[in-house]
A and B are shown apart, each in its own frame.
Chain A
């Protein structure tokens, strides 16, 4: 796609002793498929159950047990492919990847090697300030997760928990289209957003439901691709950024010292801030892939693909474009609002009540800000969309001032209630009675003769008078009316 030709901005290059370096990144994202049951068995995929409680005979690889494909996982993979405009392969196959490990009961992982279910696609990634890049996706394939080895429970023994064993994963393989840690982070964020939108993966990185293998190499701009190292299993977006930065600098140092990069698999240690070698290319497993004879080729009808395509929800890019066009919000605000489907829905519910820009402002700055501060998800918001909508309609109608609105928001957050009723019952209504305001203005002017003189010389001092009047009115005076009256009275 755009990998070879793309020339990154110089700000993305990493300065070294011998000049600037370009970092080239490709990623394999492992996303746990949202499904009730595992990929090839009927066991539950629930998280947090006691060890080895979600394990069927198939998951434990008992003798004579056979895999049976869970079609729901297939549908989720197809939906994911459709969401990134990818080719859906109507025939794909499952292969065995053979290696020994105690948390891999079969001695092989069932994966898709030669013929994945989803072919090439792309993801548009916003980088802010109007910059966006298109990242190519090579393929998405379905595979089984392994179990978990636990080494810290006993000085001598290791334990194995097979609850995860056989859970469906999608491996989403990008092309080496990323040129900085920021781009990489933005790509994962966007992919996560898309998967969450369509409900194919909950994107919960804390639970390991989304994790990345990051391939990093460096080169002088325009030079051929350098030797890459693969950093395994990075499980937060922040760590992905850190791992890339640290690995790129490590490689640059080696190259600038006249060394060469060994192709190897590395591990990122966030506590030490370093990447460490796990195994070299020579130590790499020979996985002896071959088609799994227990499973027939997976054949999908075009009709099913069409049906899934028609049922896809509005995707983040489309939603963002629509928000800009229909609500007149800024591209940045549109991006923030569409990051999560629930947030976008919330905003739209708020915007029904009044000025959409005001709705965007209140949703992003007040509500999201508060939610973030308290670590709450939008679903857990104490203020509903209807309440916030009521608040902004009161602002739009001029019933309350912006300042009072903030007080009202606080009441809604802590006590709840109907915004309009609260305004009445607590006397928050804005004073628009010119006579009443005028009286206060006169009092303030009379009490501050020096300031009046100064204001005539320096008209911006009117702000001080406005503040005094607002204060005196308990914030209920209409600020615009105050401003107009003061201008007239001070003759400025």
Chain B
């Protein structure tokens, strides 16, 4: 049984086509794994009936020779994606019991390609967080532990459930979303591969909004090839999202194994932040050395406005969130706590429905958009955003093909470990990732090594707009050089 779980996407696809096993068998193996892995709290909703029904349909299509790109492959779906007839809550009490009558563009596309949905995956409430500790369903547990320790670690956030499930083989791959690092950071913490596509590559239609100008859906998978396959199935133009780009979707999988010889890889000097652990620094050096060995040219580059990215991000994202989350008012769906009048109903509903982190960001966002503060905060943050974008444009115009950075400033930390940390300290987790969202660029996190205590560490590659292919080729080179070993030992 566990053999079935070992196959990657690409392998399973071949085996299914060859009828070595059926989609139903593969799905059942995962459903059993889900049951055994409940202690990880990766899933907030299991949908075995849906899964088996779709798997059976997949088997029929395979038998008829009509298999789609993801035919019969069991996937998990982040609870931020609306799924028709299946409860969708963004892991917030305010969407208690909400079952959408519609399917998000991305999951609809995957479904049309034959994917089997196993269930809905845990995430930070409304995708706000870097440790998945703000979910109303509790924190998912990282399948990785420090060597010799049984302490539970976070799987990162906000797509902690997606990353934990993929790493623990509770699904073949998962959908995730990334607003400031929510795909790449959890992927880094769990030894999985996460791709944050260029803004506009994947439609936001049907994805619960956090910060509209930054949100982007993408995959988390076990390896670069699987991530590339999934990305291809998630991408495409959608007229229902005005920011979705009308552009042909390349064959991302074909970029795996493509040579990086002659590529110019930039190392931004501003990412050498104070207090960066030596092992992160060493990992970065190692990554550069691997790429050099593969024939790439590695150059130092400058992204001078990097240090302003995090503060600017924590103005723009909450500002948009404060407005995006106004629709959760208890009037039409989700939680409603009655009050004497409509204002009291609003207050009670929103106080009961939103957790601390969401409330904090709504308040920050409301503040920065207020009369008298708007120019000082929001307008300035947007200017910073323009400068950050220009930094990247300049580097790319100088002939740099991709930028290599660490994905996170540390390995996964313990659940509750930062409970007493200030929110700002938590926000530092995003220091290497937010710039990518601010500039709308694609980024990938790929496992590249381990920390001294045996936890996975990852590197990040940042690419030109809509050049995910170069990222896939380059990440595959790093993946190869790192030599694997990013499957956690099963303890659950």
Contact = CB atoms under 8 A, between A and B. Distances in A.
30 contacts: A61-B327, A62-B100, A62-B102, A62-B332, A63-B208, A64-B82, A64-B205, A64-B206, A68-B239, A68-B241, A69-B242, A98-B322, A98-B323, A98-B369, A102-B342, A105-B332, A107-B323, A107-B326, A286-B370, A288-B366, A288-B371, A288-B374, A290-B320, A290-B374, A293-B212, A293-B213, A293-B243, A294-B209, A295-B242, A296-B243
A67 B324 CA distance: 12
Interface string A188-212: 0000000000000000000000000
Contacts of B320: 290, 293
Nearest to A58: B240
A63 B326 CA distance: 11
Contact of B104 (A61, A64, A289, A296): A64
A182 to B, nearest CB: 37
Contacts of A160: 331
Interface residues of A, number: 29
Interface string A33-71: 000000000000000000000000100111111111100
Given A57-B101, A64-B205, 11 more contacts: A57-B102, A63-B209, A64-B204, A64-B206, A64-B208, A96-B323, A98-B322, A100-B329, A288-B369, A293-B243, A294-B243
A105 B331 CA distance: 8
Nearest to A64: B206
Nearest to B206: A64
Nearest to A101: B342
Interface string B323-365: 1011101011100000000110010000000000000000000
B327 A68 contact: no
Which 9 pairs between the two chains have the least Cβ-Cβ distance? A107-B326, A288-B369, A293-B213, A293-B212, A61-B327, A64-B206, A63-B208, A64-B82, A286-B371
A64 B369 contact: no
B209 A64 contact: yes
B90 A294 contact: no
B378 interface: yes
Contacts of A66: 204-205, 240-242
A106 interface: yes
B205 A288 contact: no
Given A107-B323, A107-B327, A63 B374 contact: no
A108 interface: yes
Contacts of B95: 63
Nearest to B379: A290
Contacts of B243: 293-294, 296
A290 B242 contact: no
Contacts of A293: 211-213, 243, 320
A158 interface: yes
B483 to A, nearest CB: 40
Contacts of A69: 242
Interface of B: 81-82, 88, 90, 95, 98, 100-102, 104, 204-209, 211-213, 239-243, 319-320, 322-323, 325-327, 329, 331-333, 342-343, 346, 366, 369-371, 374, 378
Interface string A75-110: 000000000000000000000101010100111100
Interface of A: 57, 60-69, 96, 98, 100, 102, 105-108, 158, 160, 286, 288-290, 293-296
B326 A100 contact: yes
Given A61-B332, A64-B207, A106 B242 contact: no
A67 to B, nearest CB: 7
Nearest to A286: B371
Contacts of A64: 81-82, 100, 104, 204-209
A159 to B, nearest CB: 11
Contacts of A65: 205-206
B323 A108 contact: yes
A72 to B, nearest CB: 15
Contacts of A295: 242
Contacts of B208: 63-64
Given A68-B242, A102-B331, A288-B366, A158 B204 contact: no
Given A64-B208, A66-B242, A67-B242, A290 B332 contact: no
A98 B326 contact: yes
A12 to B, nearest CB: 36
Contacts of B319: 290
B326 A108 contact: yes
B327 A290 contact: no
A150 to B, nearest CB: 13
A94 to B, nearest CB: 10
A316 to B, nearest CB: 36
A107 to B, nearest CB: 2
A289 B374 CA distance: 9
B362 to A, nearest CB: 11
Contacts of B82: 62-64
Nearest to B365: A288
A64 B328 CA distance: 12
A293 B365 CA distance: 14
A69 to B, nearest CB: 7
